[in-house]
Amino acid sequence: CPPLGLESLRVQDSQLRASSHQRYGLGAHRGRLNIQSGLYDGDLYDGGWCAGQEDTEQWLEVDAGGITNFTGVVTQGLNSIWTYNWVTTFKVQVSNDTHEWHPCRNGTAEVVFPGNKDPETPVLNLLPSPVVARYLRINPQTWFQNGTICLRAEVLGCPLPDPNNAYTWPRQPLPTDPLDFRHHNYKEMRKLMKRVNEECPNITRVYSIGRSYRGLKMYVMEISDHPGRHEVGEPEFRYVAGMHGNEVLGRELLLNLMEYLCREFRRGNPRVVQLVTQTRIHLLPSMNPDGYETAYKLGSELSGWAMGRWTYEGIDLNHNFADLNTALWDAEDNDLVPHQFPNHYIPIPEYYTLANATVAPETRAVIDWMQRVPFVLSANLHGGELVVTYPFDMTRTYWKAQELTPTPDDDVFRWLATVYATSNLAMATEERRLCHYDDFARVGNIINGANWHTVPGSMNDFSYLHTNCFEITVELSCDKFPHASELPDEWENNREALLLYMEQVHRGIKGVVRDRETEKGIANAIISVDGINHDIRTG
């Protein structure tokens, strides 16, 4: 059975209760798998549920909302940079009314389940046999000897019809596009891309931009009316997903987007036809295929918060691009920009190009791709939050962890971020709640990247400073690795936003710079806009 949705927030705070808690920030509503704590000890939004007393009568209770066939429990310890707390063994009880509780038994003996050995690694315990009830309690029996009773959890269960109340019968999901809603490993991803290419050979092309450290090809799907060819005046657009291998929703959304664009083009959908014929679209579903395979083997509930995030070499690709910000800001401080130091197309430093530089092959492949194709607009799809961030990602004051650091094109970037955030159903809903501890809803679900947390060497900043391409980051969901059963809903949440953001590539001024006498196009012509200290070059 799939998870009830403690991690994905399908389970509401009101459905979680506990015997006691140390304080509000460690209440039952925080006992969700993979929830992250704030930076400060005693934070209002802390990293789990912690009981207010240390005895074997404490419990965390989940109301499934209806009759449910419970099959298992996943547990973690407290997420904290200050303390170490986790439960080492626990019992499970179920009830239909919260008054009479029945222990989970293996035959006649009450089962004591093995818990965690560290705070972060999720541990799955399947029940000896499925149990039908509405409520489930996790009852800690022992805990880390130097800590206290703290845990985060997910409960596995299938909803069942209630014979006494037809209104609570499980409802089928809303009808959606007939797409391949499941998680695709490397082999399955290749099959899907090949199938889409065969269905729409006239508008698609599959190509590779390089290989990962372990030799997996980094496949891109191109969608255009003339695949394989740059057309003058037709903008180049890209979506990149899977920079962190365990943030998998972007990968599945891009695979679904390929299917959708192909099928809707064949059906003659005017919006899709216009988009495909007037735009050259590139979709890279997996920038870190090695990391994804690591997370995929563990699965949705057991990959934790970080397993598969990095490349096989242990490199975080989101910090691996050349830092061009520092060189630009040093030049600005010395009044060298733009006459002695460029404000755009900033060259890559020599140290970064050396053979012994710590640059992942995945990063080099993407940089070569950026330099080969004159991209105009891009989005980098991540997971683990619900927010859209825009450059700069790196703080100008090097020692600050957070600082508002806008680009000269701040108005444009704020618009682009707002387009995605306001058309994403999960972000736009009035019922939107915190994923972890940041309340992004109060700022329209967009934030300057550096004002959230500094990211030196980000792809967004590199794209803006080294090429013509404006790029934002979309954090797609609270859950980095949603269960396959949640993918149809996530497609509905993001379909309009994915399309609308691509359409923004046609806003603004575009054209060709020509020699007045010969009428031939001029490459590398610099275009400046008054009041914006960031120029653009022709392709």
Across residues 263-271, what is the average pLDDT? 97
> Is the pLDDT assigned to residue 174 strictly greater than 90?
no
Across residues 349-362, what is the average pLDDT? 94
Instruction: Determine the longest span between alpha carbons in the chain, in angstroms.
Output: 94
Across residues 116-145, what is the average pLDDT? 96
Q: Is 495 helix (H, G, I), strand (E, B) or coil?
A: helix
Residue 487 pLDDT grade (very low, low, confident, very high; cuts 50, 70, 90): very high
Token pair, residue 82, equals 């200050």
Please write the tens of the pLDDT for every residue from 526-538. Answer: 999 999 999 999 9
> Is the pLDDT assigned to residue 157 strictly greater than 70?
yes
Query: Contact 418/281 with Cβ under 8 angstroms?
Result: no
Query: Contact 44/66 with Cβ under 8 angstroms?
Result: no
Write down the pLDDT at residue 107: 86
CA distances from 50 to 9, 245, 438 (A): 19, 31, 21
Write down the pLDDT at residue 175: 53
Is residue 259 within a helix (H) or strand (E), and if so which, with residue range? helix 249-267
> Is the pLDDT assigned to residue 166 strictly greater than 60?
no
The CA-CA-CA angle for residues 193, 316, 467, to 5°, reads: 70
Across residues 93-109, what is the average pLDDT? 94
Token pair, residue 330, equals 């040093």
Residue 115 pLDDT grade (very low, low, confident, very high; cuts 50, 70, 90): very high
Strand partners, 539: none
> How far is Cα 312 from Cα 308, in angstroms, rounded to an integer?
8
Among candidates 496, 440, 504, which has minimal Cα distance to 472?
504
Is residue 126 within a helix (H) or strand (E), and if so which, with residue range? strand 123-143
Write down the pLDDT at residue 432: 84
Please write the tens of the pLDDT for every residue from 50-92. Answer: 999 999 999 999 999 999 999 999 999 999 988 899 999 999 9
Write down the pLDDT at residue 6: 95
Strand partners, 131: 70
| Given 236, 293, 475, 486, the catalytic residue | 475
Residue 162 pLDDT grade (very low, low, confident, very high; cuts 50, 70, 90): confident
Domain boundaries, the chain: 13-159, 186-526
Token pair, residue 117, equals 């050995």
> How far is Cα 365 from Cα 372, in angstroms, rounded to an integer?
11
CATH class of 13-159: mainly beta
Please write the tens of the pLDDT for every residue from 365-392. Answer: 999 999 999 999 999 999 999 999 999 9
Please report, rounded to a whole number, the percentage of residues in the chain having pLDDT higher than 90: 90
> How far is Cα 168 from Cα 158, in angstroms, rounded to an integer?
14
Question: Angle at which helices 249-267 and 270-278 pack, to 10 degrees?
Answer: 110
* Full-model pTM: 0.95
Peptide bond just before 338 cis, omega within 30 deg: yes
Across residues 290-299, what is the average pLDDT? 96
Write down the pLDDT at residue 40: 73
> Is the pLDDT assigned to residue 359 strictly greater than 80?
yes
> Is the pLDDT assigned to residue 170 strictly greater than 70?
no
CATH class of 186-526: alpha beta
Across residues 455-471, what is the average pLDDT? 97
Please write the tens of the pLDDT for every residue from 5-15. Answer: 999 999 999 99
> Is the pLDDT assigned to residue 167 strictly greater than 70?
no
Query: Contact 403/248 with Cβ under 8 angstroms?
Result: no
Say whether 517 is catalytic.
no
Across residues 344-373, what is the average pLDDT? 96
> Is the pLDDT assigned to residue 245 strictly greater than 70?
yes
Token pair, residue 31, equals 């006992």
Query: Contact 138/17 with Cβ under 8 angstroms?
Result: no
> How far is Cα 194 from Cα 221, in angstroms, rounded to an integer?
9
Write down the pLDDT at residue 176: 67
> How far is Cα 100 from Cα 225, in angstroms, rounded to an integer?
65
Write down the pLDDT at residue 433: 84
Please write the tens of the pLDDT for every residue from 509-524. Answer: 899 999 999 999 999 9
Among candidates 461, 467, 412, 423, which has minimal Cα distance to 236?
467
CA 412 to chain centre: 23
Mean pLDDT, the chain, whole residue set = 94
Residue 171 pLDDT grade (very low, low, confident, very high; cuts 50, 70, 90): low
- Provide the pairing of β-strand 375-382 with 236-241: parallel
Across residues 257-265, what is the average pLDDT? 98
